Amino acid sequence: MDSLFESVEGENREERLAELARQVSVCTRCDLALNRTNTVFGTGDPYSPLMLVGEGPGENEDATGLPFVGRAGKLLDDILAAVDLTRQDVYITNIVKCRAAAQEGGRLKNRQPRTGEIRACNPYLQGQIEAIKPRVILCLGGPAAKTVIDKDFKITKDRGKWYDVDGIKTMATFHPAYVLRQRGDDLDRAKRAVWKDVQAVYAEYQKALEERG
């Protein structure tokens, strides 16, 4: 674990997460600190066996401090509801905790986080994984999969497969925002793929709950 977190030894995982969130709220480890309104640390059940990892805050998330707000968030809710889950049943975070944006036509537009920004923020994600100890991780989109599973991960080819990441069953599926950008047959295909992946993830989630007893 990154030495940044050697001092994060709360008595329980809520305390560890609260300390990490406090560190994130004042973090200046990368330039994404410059334009943020709010950091977006993560939400949900820190005792859930399932962690969802997305890409990073966009405009709405930056404004609210919450992950997956807006249309992509609504679709994520629908995806979870398809297997009878809500946000409160899982823990949701991102690979970067501040909005990546660039000036375009006189206003800030969301952009993908850069490799250096993802690397700078990774200790916080690792700290969350260490604290929560999920049994299953679902990466949402290619950047999350490249960060958590393998730098050479190809989302179209490698999604829907299980990977062992330090003993955690890990899968990646399409990001809800990607699904929303599809049209016609591509939209149907993307939705079917995500629904299939989430069913497999739910089966592992259930298994983890049963084993916990």
What's the length of the chain?
213
Residue nearer to ligand SF4 on the CB measure, 49 or 127: 127
- β-sheet bridge partners, residue 94: 54
The tokens describing 34, both together, are 């410059």
Assess 120 for contact with ligand SF4 (CB under 6 A): yes
CA distance 39 to 66: 8
Do 198 and 138 touch, CB atoms closer than 8 A? yes
Assess 98 for contact with ligand SF4 (CB under 6 A): yes
> By rule CB under 6 A, what string of x and - marks binding of each residue 1-40 to ligand SF4?
-----------------------x--xxxx-xx-----x-
Of these, 16, 87, 97, 146, which contacts ligand SF4 (CB under 6 A)?
A: 97
Shortest Å distance, C-beta 25 to ligand SF4: 8
Assess 121 for contact with ligand SF4 (CB under 6 A): yes
The stretch among 4-12, 91-99, 131-139, 179-187 that binds ligand SF4 (CB under 6 A) is: 91-99
Amino acid (1-letter code) at residue 19: E
Assess 198 for contact with ligand SF4 (CB under 6 A): no
CA distance 70 to 117: 24
Closest by CA position to 112, among listed 56, 60, 31:
56
DSSP state of 68: S
Residues that bind ligand SF4 (CB under 6 A): 24, 27-30, 32-33, 39, 96-98, 117, 120-121
